[in-house]
Structure 1
Amino acid sequence: MRRILIFIAAAVFSFPVLAMHCPKDMARIDAMLQNNPPNDIEVRERVAKLRAKGEDLHNAGEHEGAVEVLGEALGLLESAS
């Protein structure tokens, strides 16, 4: 029972952390696209779509999904540079 309560408490406190993480990731993507965009136009388009989807998920309150999608966009940007 104690473990369940600890798990629930950890989950409740982790959601605000995810919510605050999204805007930082979006700003980082924006900066990377502006300062050092990938040469491959397909990668740029994919990153832009993922960034938009991440923002939509964030605005809908689905922060875990937003962090995942934005992380994918960041991964593409980092591997392209």
Structure 2
Amino acid sequence: MKHLTLAAAFTMLAVPAFAGQCPADMAAIDEAMATAQLSEAEMAEVKALRAEGEEQHAAGDHEASVETLAEAKAMLGIE
């Protein structure tokens, strides 16, 4: 029972960490898109991923948002 309570506590603490990361990731993506050397198709995919990540963030699904935004960041070559 103690392990379950501890796991729940860690999960509750991790959600705000993801929530705070989403806006920073979106800002980094926006900044990188301004100078990115991508094809139209690649840029469209980055924009779609960024929009999806923002929607997930707004819906409270921060873990999914971080993962989606990470895909966009990888396409742009940023960490």
Structure-1-length-normalised TM-score? 0.90
Q: What is the alpha-carbon distance in structure 1 between the residues aligned to residue 58 and residue 45 of structure 2?
A: 20
Matched residue of 1:26: which SS? helix
Gaps of 5+ in 1: none
Percent identical across equivalent pairs? 36
How many residue pairs end up in the alignment? 78
Structure-2-length-normalised TM-score? 0.92
Deviations 1:1-44 (A, max 9, x none): 2221111110000001110100000000000001x212311111
Alpha-carbon RMSD across the aligned residues, in angstroms, is 1.2
Gaps of 5+ in 2: none
2:7 aligned with 1:3: no
Greater displacement, 22-31 / 60-69: 60-69
Question: Post-superposition, which runs of at least 4 consecutive aligned residues in structure 1 deviate over 4 A?
Answer: none
